[in-house]
Every structure is written in C-alpha cells, then in structure tokens.
Amino acid sequence: MPIRLTWTDNSTNETGFTLSRETLAADGVTWGALTTFNVGSNISSFDDPMTTPGTYRYRIQAYNATGASSWTPYAQAVIPQPIPAAPSNLVATLI
C-alpha cells in the first residue's frame, strides 16, 4: 500500500527537494530507520512505495546551490496491519 505525499511548492528557484521518512519503533515512542528521497524541482507529490504495516512520519525541504529551506512540520501516515486470512477446512468429528 503506497503512501502518496503532496505539498505546495512555494519556491521558484529550488534545485529539488529532500524528503525524509522515519519509522515508529516497536516501543511506540522512538522514531528511527531514517530514509531520504531526492525529488526533482517543480514537483509537488511523491509516491512512497512503502508497504510494510507501521507508522511513518515525513517532512520535506527545498534546496538549491545556496542552501536549504527549513523543514516542514511532520505529516504522519499509518499502514494498518492486515486482517488475518480466514481459517479453512474445519471438520467436526465425533469422539
């Protein structure tokens, strides 16, 4: 289940964007597993192909040769744990 991220491009002179993703650890408190993506200029969406159940947070900044903008606040997405498959082949036997 991919996650689509969208933002408003407020810059007219960016070279691109740096998008970061962090994963919530099993303890439910600690964020880790940082991954970054480079996104081209004049783009305002990105599809993260993440499919593993869990909680993810994202932030983005624009950059050019002079430096980088501040980061956006985090946006969070949750990929739920799927419902288990139903059992099958139940048999009742007199004993």
Give the HSE-up count for residue 83: Cα atoms under 13 Å, Cβ half-sphere.
Answer: 2
Which tens digit of pLDDT belongs to each residue from 35-52? Answer: 999 999 999 999 999 879
pLDDT on residue 47:
96
Indicate the pTM of the whole model.
Answer: 0.84
Position 82 pLDDT exceeds 90:
no
| pLDDT digit string, tens, across residues 68-81 | 999 999 999 999 98
CB 69 within 8 A of CB 37: no
